[in-house]
Amino acid sequence: MTEKVYARNVEALKSGTVIDHIPAGQGLRILRLFQLAEYRERVTVGLNLPSGHMGSKDLIKIENVVLSEEQANELALFAPRGTVSVIEDFAVVRKQKLAIPDTVEGIFACPNSNCVSHVEPVQSHFSVRVTEHDTKMKCKYCEKVFSKDIVVDVR
Amino acid sequence: MPNPLYRKHIISIPDFTREELELVVQTAAQLKAASRGDLLKDRLLATCFFEPSTRTRLSFETAVQRLGGNVIGFADGANTSAKKGETLADTVRIISSYTDAIIMRHPKEGAARVASEFSSVPIINGGDGANQHPSQTLLDLFTLQETQGRLDNLTVAFVGDLKYGRTVHSLAQALSLFGAKFYFVGPEALAMPDYLCEELDERGISYSIAATIEEVIPHIDILYMTRVQRERFDEAEYKKIQGQFVLRADMLRSARPNMKILHPLPRVDEITTDVDATPHAYYFEQAKNGVYARQALLSLVLNETV
């Protein structure tokens, strides 16, 4: 199936945001972690959609919601090749390439069970560093360094 | 201009610049040479030890009192509001309204950083779980400067528990600002964590792993011993490594004359007592230096100029 054919299968969006090129299997996790259903707007999720260069992918459309640049970049931790398109009147008015953020606040829990961030009134906070083989996340509080996949898997 | 540590929180060694570390070391040397009973005059400090620690607490309290300051506080968290479920954030808000600085130890990693976000006065980290213990590293650096006359380009062997030993991690991080060479000697299961080795790689610090203490002794300026805790191993594994990372006086024959042995203490059996009488043993003087390093730190945090 080509991109064109599948596009007809997913309802067009009048205005809002399309998050595309999410690796298959990450769509629901993104929906949950970024609380995209909490906006009480219509959300359409496509799972395991065919994709030319990715094989298969997930896709999320949210009506009447525009993500901040910060939120969009946080998505890059799950979808390094993801794109976020802002739609107005059925047309793409802005397409954003995602960049891995320098810091991530409040989204993930620290994998270290003895980290104070679990019991004090603070938001989790990681600084992110991309190395040759991995993306590392360092907790601001316990100062432990984790591979991105470990942090992402915790919650 | 105030000194760069004035009114700063002292949370973690990676927060320090090379110049700030040198400033603490120089100030400690000055205070060891000539005591100053006025630097904390009319100052009230809190020592909040949510987890007991004999040496660190008494050393901090000695430092405060020798500088003319006063101390309030508690020696363990058992009878505090923390036990009733108060957050550390609230406890610190209150205590910081009573005192000029808070010296704290806490069993949770990151506790001092959280405290610094809620305190109106400087927080001095006296140990947060397995994470950081910056005043230990400062006293280690002061001892290196005192025994070697420099901090640059020292060759240091770390022996024992390199995985969980926070003093090892912090000292290695601090010395990486001064261009050092390291040997790591310890059981494979307690090897230096990857993330720290990567940090050292990035800073161009050379290190090698050695199987025995004997093979590194002729090449080093400092032998930094730590305790391998029995509870980290099952009985059979412990039997295998037991005795392998123990230092005895007869192993020191090939040591350089300037070589000194440090240990954050308490020692159990990893340094036999016959080492104590050798000219290389420096761990008790190192512990004494803890008071001067802490005096230096507190003086700099609480005075614009020292």
Q: What interface predicted TM-score (ipTM) does this complex get?
A: 0.91
Evaluate whether residue B2 is within a structural domain.
no
CB-CB contact of A108 with A154 (8 Å): yes
The dihedrals phi and psi of B49, each to the nearest 5 degrees, come to -105, 95
Q: Please tell me whether residues B140 and B239 are part of one structural domain.
A: yes
pLDDT in tens, A124-136: 999 999 888 889 9
Q: Please tell me whether residues B117 and B192 are part of one structural domain.
A: no
pLDDT class of A155 with cuts at 50, 70, 90: low
pLDDT class of A5 with cuts at 50, 70, 90: very low
Asked if the model's pLDDT at residue B231 lies above 80, the reply is: no
Evaluate whether residue B7 is within a structural domain.
no
User: Whole-angstrom Cα distance, residue B219 to residue B205?
Assistant: 16
If we measure between CA atoms, which residue out of B95, B97, B115, B96 comes closest to residue B105?
Answer: B115
Quote the pLDDT of residue A74. 87
Cα angle for residues B33, B35, B36 (degrees, 5° grid): 140
Asked if the model's pLDDT at residue A9 lies above 80, the reply is: no
Does residue B43 carry a catalytic annotation? no
The class level of CATH for A101-150 reads mainly beta
Q: Do B108 and A119 touch (CB under 8 A)?
A: yes
Q: Do A115 and B88 touch (CB under 8 A)?
A: no
Count how many domains chain B has: 2
Quote the pLDDT of residue B153. 97
Binding residues of B for carbamoyl phosphate: 55-56, 105, 133, 136, 265-266
Evaluate whether residue B155 is within a structural domain.
yes
Q: Please tell me whether residues B100 and B179 are part of one structural domain.
A: no
pLDDT in tens, B92-146: 999 999 999 999 999 999 999 999 999 999 999 999 999 999 999 999 999 999 9
pTM summary value: 0.89
> What CATH architecture is A14-95?
2-Layer Sandwich (3.30)
Residue ranges, comma separated, of all CATH 2.30.30.20 domains in chain A are 101-150
Evaluate whether residue B67 is within a structural domain.
yes
Packing angle between helix B283-302 and helix B18-33, nearest 10 degrees?
110
The parent domain of residue B155 ranges over 135-287
Q: Which among A120, A139, A140 has the least Cβ separation from residue B88? A: A120
User: Whole-angstrom Cα distance, residue A56 to residue A119?
Assistant: 40
If we measure between CA atoms, which residue out of B52, B53, B70 comes closest to residue B61?
Answer: B70
Asked if the model's pLDDT at residue B262 lies above 70, the reply is: yes
Q: Please tell me whether residues B47 and B155 are part of one structural domain.
A: no
Q: Which among A121, A142, A145 has the least Cβ separation from residue B110? A: A142
In chain B, what residues touch A135 (CB-CB under 8 Å)?
A: none
Does residue B84 carry a catalytic annotation? yes
> What are the structure tokens assigned to A139, written together?
């907790």
Beta-carbon count within 10 A of B191 CB: 14
Q: Do B110 and A143 touch (CB under 8 A)?
A: yes
Instruction: Choose between B302 and A68: higher pLDDT.
Output: B302
Beta strand pairing status for A55-63 and B222-225? unpaired
Query: What is the DSSP code string of A18-67?
Result: EEEEEETT-HHHHHHHTTGGGG-S-EEEEEEEEETTTEEEEEEEEET---
Q: Which among B106, B114, B195 has the least Cβ separation from residue A122? A: B114
CB-CB contact of B55 with B135 (8 Å): no
Residue ranges, comma separated, of all CATH 3.30.70.140 domains in chain A are 14-95
Average pLDDT value for residue range B202-214: 96
Q: Is B228 helix (H, G, I), strand (E, B) or coil?
A: coil
Taking the CA of residue A98 and the nearest CA in chain B, the distance in Å comes to: 26
Residues of A with CB under 8 A from a CB of B: 112, 114-117, 119-122, 131, 136, 139-145
In chain B, what residues touch A119 (CB-CB under 8 Å)?
A: 87, 108
**Cβ neighbours of residue A5 under 8 Å, at least 6 residues apart?**
none
Q: Please tell me whether residues B96 and B208 are part of one structural domain.
A: no
**Residue spans of alpha helices (H) in B67-155:** 88-96, 111-118, 134-148
User: Whole-angstrom Cα distance, residue A25 to residue A22?
Assistant: 8
Summary mean pLDDT of chain B: 95
Beta-carbon count within 10 A of A48 CB: 12
Terminal Cα distance for chain B, rounded: 12
Q: Please tell me whether residues B270 and B140 are part of one structural domain.
A: yes
Q: Helix, strand, coil proportions of chain B in percent (round to 5)? A: 45, 15, 40
> What are the structure tokens assigned to B103, written together?
């010296």
Evaluate whether residue B3 is within a structural domain.
no
Choosing from B9, B133, B169, B260, the catalytic residue is B133
Q: Point out which residues pair with B35 in neighbouring strands.
A: none
Q: Is B185 helix (H, G, I), strand (E, B) or coil?
A: strand
**CA distances (Å), origin B222, targets A108, B150, B260:** 41, 12, 5
User: Whole-angstrom Cα distance, residue B206 to residue B226?
Assistant: 21
Q: Please tell me whether residues B210 and B234 are part of one structural domain.
A: yes
Q: Please tell me whether residues B160 and B140 are part of one structural domain.
A: yes
CATH of the domain at B270: 3.40.50.1370
Quote the pLDDT of residue A10. 57
